[in-house]
Amino acid sequence: MKKIEAIIKPFKLEDVKNALTEAGVTGMTVSDVKGYGRQQGHSELYRGAEYVVDFLPKIKLELIVDERSVDETIRIITESARTGKIGDGKIFVTPIQKIIRIRTGEEDEEAI
């Protein structure tokens, strides 16, 4: 089992969610986050004054998938979140040692 964390642009959330749902992904956690990468934020002009926006709004998706689904899930997220412009985001994959569904006590793949 793997945990996939994807940081994407907020306006791409519906596209990514719909694509993952079509592929059979049954659950995900979505968080509003702020951050920056190489872009280091950007400057904006407001009422004639320039100011720097250091942390840009992003969406963080967290999904747990079985080993067989990792590459396909990454492909779906990448294709549906890509705009081709700087700041499209990142995907992180980490191993999961154990999952327990609190309500039933099911473990690991049965708990997904």
Quote the pLDDT of residue 70: 95
Q: Which residue has the tokens 């702020």?
A: 34
Q: pLDDT per residue over 3-44, tens digit each?
A: 999 999 999 999 999 999 999 998 999 999 988 777 666 666
C-alpha distances (whole Å) from 43 to each of 18, 35, 60, 89, 92 are: 33, 15, 23, 19, 28
Average pLDDT of the chain is: 89
Quote the pLDDT of residue 53: 67
CB atoms < 10 A from the CB of 104, how many?
9
Quote the pLDDT of residue 54: 73
Quote the pLDDT of residue 90: 96
Q: What is the rounded distance in angstroms from the CA atom of residue 39 to the CA atom of residue 41?
A: 5
The full DSSP string for the chain is -EEEEEEE-GGGHHHHHHHHHHTT----EEEEEEE-STT--EEEEETTEEEEE-SEEEEEEEEEE-GGGHHHHHHHHHHHH--SSTT-EEEEEEE----B-TTT--BGGGG-
Of residues 109 and 54, more confidence is placed in: 109
Q: What is the rounded distance in angstroms from the CA atom of residue 35 to the CA atom of residue 71?
A: 26
User: Do the Cβ atoms of 97 and 3 come closer than 8 Å?
Assistant: no
Does residue 50 surpass a pLDDT of 70? no
Q: pLDDT per residue over 67-111, tens digit each?
A: 999 999 999 999 999 999 888 999 999 999 999 999 999 998 888
